[in-house]
A and B are shown apart, each in its own frame.
Chain A
Amino acid sequence: MELKQVHKYVDLYFEGQTTREQEVILMDYFTQPVVDANLVQFKPYFEAIANERRQTYNGKLQVKPASKTKWRRAIAIAVISIFGFFMTQINTTQAIQPSPEEIVFEEFKGYMYFVSQKLNKGHEGLAHIETFNQTTNKFIKTD
């Protein structure tokens, strides 16, 4: 192994520029019993990484059937939305029961609208008179 090349790869590695193949070369180099004196400091690091890479899992991975998870998700969503719906229902029923002050206020509002409406009926008549006056003033010059 050319030492120069290894040095170059080490530099590249720490800059994050190495390719997979170059990394494999580095691992191979550092797992040798003897390395260059200048590179000894990196040996434990690359050995550790090489060790990590060598680890494999031979057990069977349990993959749950997708359909089941979908069903569970659907049920979960349904349960949450039903719960949410009932929560809002509770809130609205609470809002429907107003305090005595609010009941009085609502009734008062009803009566005041009634008064307001009737007052405006009268004002409407006044509005007609005013328009009449304005129109007559256009024809009768008062100077």
Chain B
Amino acid sequence: MIALITAAFSWGQDVFEKYEYDDSVSYFSISPKMFQMLAKLSIETNDSEADNFIRIVEEIESFKVITTESKDISTDIQTWVDQHIKTQNLEELMRVREKGAHVNFYVKSTKNDDRVKKLIMFVTDINEDQIKLGNRKPETVLLYLSGDIDLTQISKLVNKMNLPGGQQLGKLNEK
């Protein structure tokens, strides 16, 4: 009975809050207050790369990431994501199956096709080395963004880095 209650409770609970202080999970979040500070900071740095970020920063209200190497927590996150999609009416934007990982994007869309209120990126089964998040090699990444976010702006970030995928997208936009 108690187990059921705790299970029900933990389901309803925000997965970020749940694992915020867990040692096997690395947690990173930016509060709306911090975003305001970042917006000011970037104006001072005065370079074009930061300018691209500032546009994104201005649109984001909240940013949370948890990464973990634990399989159990990964399954728990998966459960939370499934629940969250149902309760918040999120749509699946895309699934990307790469040789190294599963990447799922979920969004809370708006009337404008390019803009979303929420963006969840859930990455599992990471086996590749190319994902560099600090020195960690996470097995699962859950990234949560809310605000009024322009997806094209985010995808343009890689264009600036001259990655092959980014160039493809740039060509697509020209057509």
Contact = CB atoms under 8 A, between A and B. Distances in A.
A101 interface: yes
21 contacts: A101-B34, A101-B37, A101-B38, A101-B41, A104-B30, A105-B41, A105-B53, A107-B134, A110-B134, A111-B133, A112-B53, A115-B143, A115-B154, A119-B158, A121-B98, A121-B165, A122-B103, A123-B168, A123-B169, A124-B168, A126-B172
Contacts of B38: 101, 104-105, 108
Contacts of B145: 115
Contact of B96 (A109, A110, A111, A121): A121
A11 interface: no
Interface of A: 99, 101-102, 104-105, 107-127, 130
Given A116-B154, A119-B151, A122-B94, A107 B41 contact: no
B157 A113 contact: yes
A36 B165 CA distance: 100
Interface residues of B, number: 44
Contacts of A119: 94, 105, 151, 154-155, 158
Given A104-B30, A113-B157, A118 B168 contact: no
Contacts of B133: 110-111, 114
